[in-house]
Structure 1
């Protein structure tokens, strides 16, 4: 074959992967990672592995890990072309899970995958991840950006996150101390957080609801993309002064599907429905699509993002402490003796 007969030379860029853009993106996000550094951080971005030293002060440190994604909330971020808060959701879903074991989040890694890397969008996403890490006091010490042509629709991407925390072995919270007479303290959610979005999108699509629809003075678009609340700092602060017998992160499955995970088999929980008011988004969803009450509770957090279980003598102090830290905390119910079906009763 003569030189003139040879086909044109192909490059990785011709196949849809731009190595130069990926390298440039790493340079853009290095300042984001630097902003999140904390005690124990030993390496910056760019290495094959991320290094972290367990902070001093632990006698028997136990590592607690969690991984999660954002789910189909991403589809609304694509539709609205708003990418600056979805990274907070990613961090929140991981660090809040680690927190319920009593652990302090230490570091976080992210995975960002897309068909074609758009540095401006990717930078917005990672900036949100950095903000979430700052809120949780977790160092962003590494991650992976994957450009995979043909795997995703144009303009779309997927996210996953991984968090590691530490807790003193003697202070692990596992629900074993929960007993009849304990009380439930609810912490308000900031919205639907990152669960139930397949149903939210189904309601919007089925009833052709414009995303600029106003609910209690806010656009539906703002409400559905409100970032997941990160409870790490106020709850860790509370645990330094008040014993917490259990924590439940209210995610997929709602209150019934998550609170039951921290209860002994010989107890049941009674949640007082009058203890809080559903935010406008959940009232609108139920009314628009005629969703049954039980379906609402097992799909959404309905305004309660985290539940603490404490002794009754600590309840007032705990609520005051959490409210002073910027949370909306309230007495939600109590733990009672006896096995019941269902174990979580919302009355």
Structure 2
């Protein structure tokens, strides 16, 4: 069928067909033994196997990558952005002890470049593999005149499952409970509007400015760490009273969400290493450390509240799973986050 009229309007359906052909191999990597889904169907099919789950609760999450995408555009590097998208979703539902089941993506762009779409989906598939979930479907929308030239947006949606009895109960948190922090891989996917402003104000070219033997761009594009496998295993071994994903708003916004009313947290700054990239941003941007903790993760991507008696076991297990983990503070009977 002749599609010249549509192509003249800026939409190349043949590029869309090529994109689908290229991404099939990435999607296939995430398919599980019980998969009955066919790429190209109008809906994603997922057989729900409950196993030993007595009271199944479905947990959903959705998110995007934010203005970190601007760095990907600038550096023409698109293969890790998909991991960020998956991570932002699955790490959120992990706070409810949910095992991710499947993920859907949405990619909207000004022009469909099949190799670029393939690179993005390759990252999404890698994120799904890391999270142990299936890339069940998605949508690629070519929207000429809506997005700037060579730019795109990517967002995702995941669904997980948890037995009702396994959901963390923050009402059981007591004064003196310990807060364990699990190390981040870097800036993750938050605060990039400020990051880009700092780079612009200081005339720092992320493609050429080197820091710790890498370009700043490479460091900033380090994908968000996915904590699913290690934290789900930990849930099987100890009682975790609450979990917080340290994303936008840093410690000040996210830690209180994991605490009951009337309680707060005292964080010991010397208890964990602040990643060098945050010292760099603080110095170049003239931002006080206190303020940095309200914007960035500062080297801690996820926090867990546990009984003091289980602290050593939790640390040993997390480290055996390949995580860097620290006791970073404790729960106090006073609302707020206090850095000391």
Aligned residues: 336
Which residue does 2:149 correspond to in 1?
A: 154
Out of 232, 240, 243, the residue aligned to residue 244 of structure 1 is 240
Asked if 1:345 is matched to 2:338, the reply is: yes
**Alignment of structure 1 residues 220-299 onto 2, 5 Å:** 220-299=216-295
Structure 1 runs (4+) deviating above 4 angstroms are none
Which residue does 1:44 correspond to in 2?
A: 38
How big is each residue's C-alpha offset from its partner over 1:22-80, in whole Å with a ceiling of 9 and x where there is no partner?
Answer: 12211211121111012553213211111112223221110000000000000000000
Larger CA deviation: 63-72 vs 284-293: 284-293
Q: Which secondary structure does the structure 1 equivalent of 2:329 belong to?
A: strand
Q: 1:177 and 1:39, CA in 2 relative to 1: closer, same or farther beyond 3 A?
A: farther
Q: Which runs of 5+ in 1 are unaligned?
A: 1-8
Asked if 1:123 is matched to 2:118, the reply is: yes
**Alignment of structure 1 residues 160-175 onto 2, 5 Å:** 160-175=155-170
Q: Which secondary structure does the structure 1 equivalent of 2:50 belong to?
A: coil
In structure 1, C-alpha distance between the alignment counterparts of 2:261 and 2:36, rounded to whole Å: 44
In structure 2, C-alpha distance between the alignment counterparts of 1:174 and 1:93, rounded to whole Å: 22
In structure 2, C-alpha distance between the alignment counterparts of 1:220 and 1:296, rounded to whole Å: 18
Q: Which secondary structure does the structure 2 equivalent of 1:245 belong to?
A: strand
TM-score (norm 2): 0.96
Which residue does 1:188 correspond to in 2?
A: 183
Which residue does 1:34 correspond to in 2?
A: 28
**RMSD between superposed Cα atoms in Å:** 1.3
Larger CA deviation: 242-251 vs 218-227: 218-227
Out of 327, 333, 346, the residue aligned to residue 329 of structure 2 is 333
Q: How far apart are 1:217 and its partner, in Å?
A: 2.7
Q: How far apart are 1:266 and its partner, in Å?
A: 2.2
Asked if 1:25 is matched to 2:19, the reply is: yes
Which residue does 1:3 correspond to in 2?
A: none
Residues 266 and 331 in structure 2, CA contact (< 8 A), matched pair in contact too: yes
Q: Which runs of 5+ in 2 are unaligned?
A: none
Which residue does 1:208 correspond to in 2?
A: 203
Which residue does 1:145 correspond to in 2?
A: 140
Q: 1:308 and 1:40, CA in 2 relative to 1: closer, same or farther beyond 3 A?
A: farther
Which residue does 1:133 correspond to in 2?
A: 128
The structure number with the bigger radius of gyration is 1
Residues 173 and 245 in structure 1, CA contact (< 8 A), matched pair in contact too: yes
Asked if 1:310 is matched to 2:306, the reply is: yes
How big is each residue's C-alpha offset from its partner over 1:186-216, in whole Å with a ceiling of 9 and x where there is no partner?
Answer: 0111111000000000000011013232323
Which residue does 1:12 correspond to in 2?
A: 6
Which residue does 1:98 correspond to in 2?
A: 93
Asked if 1:79 is matched to 2:74, the reply is: yes
Q: Which secondary structure does the structure 1 equivalent of 2:79 belong to?
A: coil
